[in-house]
Amino acid sequence: MKKTQPVTLPENVHILVIKMAGIGDLLLATPALRALRETYPHAHIDLLVTPDSAGILNGWQVIDRIIVLDKYLFDYPQQFLTRPHNLLRLKPLWRDLRDGHYDAVLLLHHLTLPFGRLKHQLLLRATGAQWRVGLDNGHGWFLNVRVKDNGFGAMHEAEYYLAVAGAVGAKTKDKRLVVPLSEADHRQAWQLLYEHETPQNIRHPIIAMHPGSGGYSTARRWAPERFAQLADTLYSSVGGQLLLLGGPEEAELHQHIIDMMHSEMPVRSMAGRGSIKVTAALLEQVDLFIGNDSALVHLAVAAGTPTVAIFGLTNAQAWGPFADEKAGQQALIVRLNLPCMPCFYRGHDLGTPEGCATRDCLALLGVDPIATAARRLLTKTKSELHS
């Protein structure tokens, strides 16, 4: 039976939350997960994720168990025909889903693509849960607790996930993103940051930049020469030093930017140095983060770092930094306002992850607006420290 009003779950309810996405998307789900734990403190809450994001929430007491499914083995119908042995890999998962004895399963995904809808339906049915909760864009007939999906950007993704949690009565006043960090994460970040200087002698502001974007859509990247120009511009006005963040595959990109810089700004590449959690701990120590639309934007917000996010083809209303201003978090989005924007995640459609041929939304975005936003956040942070 379809439910439009929130349902109340039993005190000792078993809940499965499905969020099979990258690190950034999973971080946006952390306020909803916190809401479930605060509302149902005695619940058993499991989380189904992909291998890419499996470790980011390890150690967070909100989650009882993290279950991993490599969804990329089942992204296309052809994979079932060309690689039927992949089906065998689902047997342990099916057993896990049945043995979980879940009362409710919450799906934190839009029902955008037909094959994706089929996969989600099978997963929800496999749990045998009484309550199947999720976003409904007109294709959620297999859900019996439905939250209206008005399309990408009608609400921020984090708000959509909170609305799904709200459909089972879960609420929270704390909407901050979370990355649980260990003492070892902080220690390694400290060693990376102060490997050549003592804390007393290190140059401030420490500005971190991420010129990459992850592999899913490299079209989200602002030009590397613009990052070099931005670094030079900021050095001339605020001084400091630069850290370039990213994975090992972005080391060449970092070197390209360093070679194009003309100022004497001290710069280091952190490509591949430390885990994603060490990067989060490192971001806690910097004064400002500037980056393309990627997981590191959300990681910086979770770390409480003042953040400037550069957006082009992606829907900024859906995927922009989710900062809780009441908690003192600061984030600005810098983007153009072209009639064609956004072309990625638009309405109820996926759109074009690689954008158009010219990508005017990023090609026409100059250095000055981003430098202005950066100086604004640095000035605000400095004034707050001295108030």
**Residue at which a domain ends, from 137, 166, 195:** 166
Q: What is the mean pLDDT of residues 194-198?
A: 78
pLDDT of 348 over the 60 cut = yes
Let me know: does 285 contact 190? Beta carbons within 8 Å. Answer: yes
pLDDT bin (cut points 50, 70, 90) of residue 85 is: low
Tell me, yes or no, whether 119 and 194 share the same domain.
Answer: no
37 to 40, 62, 172, 190, 244: CA distances (angstroms):
5, 6, 9, 32, 36
Domain count, the chain: 2
pLDDT digits (tens, 9 = 90+) for 105-116: 999 999 999 988
Q: Retrieve residue 98's tokens.
A: 């049945």
pLDDT digits (tens, 9 = 90+) for 311-339: 999 999 999 999 988 888 899 999 999 99
pLDDT, position 319? 96
Q: What is the mean pLDDT of residues 19-34?
A: 96
pLDDT, position 141? 94
Residue 88 lies in a domain: yes
Tell me, yes or no, whether 318 and 231 share the same domain.
Answer: yes
pLDDT of 4 over the 70 cut = no
Residue 128 lies in a domain: yes
Tell me, yes or no, whether 245 and 373 share the same domain.
Answer: yes
Residue 339 lies in a domain: yes
Give percent above pLDDT 90 in the chain: 78
Tell me, yes or no, whether 122 and 234 share the same domain.
Answer: no
pLDDT, position 1? 47
**Residue at which a domain ends, from 134, 166, 198:** 166
Q: What is the CB neighbour count within 10 angstroms for residue 351?
A: 17
313 to 20, 34, 129, 135, 317: CA distances (angstroms):
23, 31, 38, 24, 12
pLDDT, position 94? 79
Q: How far apart are the C-alpha atoms of 194 and 263, rounded to whole Å?
A: 22
Tell me, yes or no, whether 203 and 339 share the same domain.
Answer: yes
Tell me, yes or no, whether 263 and 319 share the same domain.
Answer: yes
pLDDT, position 386? 45
Domain of 361, in residue numbers: 183-385
Rg for the chain (alpha carbons), in Å? Answer: 22
Give percent above pLDDT 70 in the chain: 91
What sign does the CA torsion over 90, 96, 99, 102 have?
A: negative
What sign does the CA torsion over 162, 166, 168, 172 have?
A: positive
Residue 6 lies in a domain: no
Tell me, yes or no, whether 192 and 111 share the same domain.
Answer: no
Q: What is the mean pLDDT of residues 172-193?
A: 96
Tell me, yes or no, whether 155 and 269 share the same domain.
Answer: no
pLDDT, position 92? 77
pLDDT, position 69? 87
Tell me, yes or no, whether 190 and 313 share the same domain.
Answer: yes
pLDDT, position 67? 93
For helices 276-283 and 183-193, give the axis angle rounded to 10 degrees: 70
- In this predicted model, which residue has the larger pLDDT, 290 or 95? 290
CATH assignment of the domain containing 158: 3.40.50.2000
Tell me, yes or no, whether 231 and 376 share the same domain.
Answer: yes
Q: What is the mean pLDDT of residues 11-36?
A: 96
HSE, CB side, 13 Å, CA atoms: give it for residue 58: 13
Phi-psi group of 101: left, alpha or beta (phi > 0 → left; psi -120 to 50 → alpha; rest → beta): left
Q: What is the mean pLDDT of residues 188-211?
A: 88
pLDDT, position 304? 96
Residue 173 lies in a domain: no
pLDDT digits (tens, 9 = 90+) for 229-258: 999 999 999 999 999 999 999 999 999 999
pLDDT of 214 over the 50 cut = yes
Residue 1 lies in a domain: no
| pTM confidence score | 0.93
Residue 87 lies in a domain: yes
pLDDT bin (cut points 50, 70, 90) of residue 199 is: confident
Tell me, yes or no, whether 56 and 201 share the same domain.
Answer: no
Q: How far apart are the C-alpha atoms of 255 and 108, rounded to whole Å?
A: 38
pLDDT of 387 over the 60 cut = no
pLDDT digits (tens, 9 = 90+) for 65-78: 999 987 666 665 55
Residue 3 lies in a domain: no
pLDDT of 46 over the 80 cut = yes
Tell me, yes or no, whether 272 and 308 share the same domain.
Answer: yes
Q: What is the mean pLDDT of residues 222-231?
A: 98
Q: What rounded mean pLDDT belongs to the chain? A: 91
**Residue at which a domain ends, from 118, 136, 166:** 166
CA nearest to 19, candidates 120, 96, 143: 120
**Cα dihedral angle (353, 358, 362, 365), rounded to 10 degrees?**
-160
Q: Retrieve residue 207's tokens.
A: 């500005």
pLDDT, position 81? 53
Q: What is the mean pLDDT of residues 367-386?
A: 84
Q: What is the mean pLDDT of residues 279-297?
A: 97
